Amino acid sequence: MSSLPYTDLSQKNLPAMLDFCRRLIRTPSLSGQEGAAAQLVASEMRALGYDEVRIDAVGNVIGVMRGSRPGSAIQFNSHLDHVSPGAESAWKYPPYAGVLADGAIWGLGASDTKGAMAAQVYGIAGLRQAVPDFAGTIYVVGVVQEEVGAVGSRELVQTLPCDCVILGEATDNQVVRGHRGGFKVVVRAIGKAAHASVPHLAVNPNYMLASFLSRLRDVPMAVDPVLGPASVAPTIYRTDQESTNVIPGEASVYLDWRSVPGETFESAVAKLRPLADAAQEPGGSIVLEARGRTELTTYTGLKRFWPGALSAYVLPLEHPAVSQSHAALEPALGRPVEVNTWRFCTDGPWFVEAGIPVIGFAPAVEGVPHTAQDHVRVDKLEEAYRGNIALADRLGAVKLR
């Protein structure tokens, strides 16, 4: 890896990178509405001298930097979209203001993942200055609809061949090598409706679900030696009635199942079926279903589907994407670098299932995304700039699969 002083470049370009991050935050980009943010990223890439910049059919923005030597194709991937801000009164600073205060940039999407995107766009723009003869082809992409169905990344699996993906999801500038998967199980209790004044004429589905949920904590969960235990949590509860004086005929609860490698929807249902059988009452039934496919429309007008499930993955410590990343980052950052796993899900499994290794490296910390305390620290952004150069330099020059 190059011994050029990444720190000099990162300090020189820090003000412009911070300004870009703040402009990204000031550009609302809810899922399906990322067009303005995509144009902003594309314009910044062109101004920074990327070899090629384009926007694909679903609206992903793709910037390309080509090395002078043959090597691997590396994709730096952050998402353009963000979740709803919720009640703006809960925010210390307005969610779309991009305020720079207390050593951090504050605003919706700062940590997930507009800060990471700024560090990737600027870091890879600085790669050619730091390493004029770098190897391989480096892509920096801003993907659409990550928050609702991985539409952008799933498109890139099919259309943008690469040898490794580096996700801009929160890692506190450590290396991350995997996470648990996830899917939703819908538990439907079907009973018999009646007026609330004559409960003896009803088969109340609420009692069936209450009985089911009272047993849920005792379900034995699989444990992975790296990712730890799988988990299941009831979330949304619904009935088919809105009147307070009517016993519903049907009630349902969503279970959020966080899986470890080897688990499937079918294996989860096999564990839940005895609970459902025990909770059924005469005249009623309990049905276990997978959450159905969801249709999504991109800001470019294309329709795509979210299949409703995400697998778990863990790269081995000895995988070159992990070991080479760790070896690149420690000297570039001048400190020990940990190798961890995420507690949440990302777009990573779509690439891994296609045979493309995925690691995470980004400046934000877990626990901040999707909250009114959303922010990214300035010193972490500067460090991520250096780290992205080091990763592109090292990984572009080695065989990764």
- The answer to whether 176 and 227 are in contact (CB under 8 A) is no
Instruction: Specify whether 280 is located in the same domain as 329.
Output: no
Residue 334 located in a structural domain: yes
Question: 148 to each of 17, 55, 215, 308, how far by Cα in Å?
Answer: 28, 20, 31, 10
Burial of 266 (0-12, 13-18, 19+ CB in 10 A): exposed
pLDDT single digits (tens) 344-393: 999 999 999 999 999 999 999 999 999 999 999 999 999 999 999 999 99
Q: Of 237, 267, 294, which closes a domain? A: 294
Q: Tell me whether residue 161 is in a domain.
A: yes
How does DSSP classify residue 134? -
In a domain, 307, yes or no: no
Name the residue range of residue 223's domain: 181-294
Residue 64, domain member (yes or no): yes
Task: Give ∠ CA 61-65-69 in degrees, rounded to 5.
Answer: 150
Shared domain check, 335 and 319: yes
Residues 120, 33 share a domain? yes
CATH at 274: 3.30.70.360
pLDDT at 306: 83
Asked whether residue 401 is assigned to any structural domain, the reply reads no
Flag whether 302 is in a domain: no
Please check whether residue 205 is in contact with residue 297, taking contact to mean a CB–CB distance below 8 angstroms.
Answer: no
Asked whether residue 263 is domain-assigned, the answer is: yes
Together in a domain, 44 and 174: yes
172 and 188 belong to one structural domain: no
**Model confidence band, residue 305 (pLDDT cutoffs 50, 70, 90):** confident
**What's the total number of domains in the chain?**
2
Average pLDDT score over residue span 81-96? 96
CATH code of the domain containing 343: 3.40.630.10
Residue 63 has pLDDT above 80, yes or no: yes
Residue 8's pLDDT band (cuts 50, 70, 90): confident
Does one domain contain both 224 and 349? no
Q: For the segment 310-344, what is each residue's pLDDT rounded down to a tens digit?
A: 999 999 999 999 999 999 999 999 999 999 999 99
Last residue of a domain, one of 248, 266, 294: 294
Last residue of a domain, one of 268, 294, 320: 294
42 and 111 assigned to the same domain:
yes
210 & 319 share domain: no
* Residue 16 and residue 155 in one domain: yes
Token pair in block for residue 181 = 């998967």
Same domain assignment for residues 213 and 361: no
Phi then psi dihedrals of residue 280, to 5 deg: -65, 145
**Closest to 320 in 3D by CA, of 129, 163, 85:** 163
Residue 43 domain-assigned?
A: yes
Q: How far apart are CA 257 and CA 367, in angstroms?
A: 19
pTM flag (> 0.85): yes
Same domain, yes or no: 155 and 226: no
What type of residue is 352?
V
- 209-245 pLDDT per residue, tens: 999 999 999 999 999 999 999 999 999 999 999 999 9
Virtual torsion, Cα 200, 205, 209, 210, nearest 10 deg: -30
Q: Are residues 125 and 193 in the same domain?
A: no
pLDDT of 1 reads: 40
Inform me whether the pLDDT recorded for 103 exceeds 50: yes
CA-CA distance, 357 to 348, in Å (whole number)?
A: 8
* Banded pLDDT at 125 (limits 50, 70, 90): very high
> What's the rounded mean pLDDT across residues 126-130?
93
Between CA 395 and CA 388 the distance in angstroms is 10
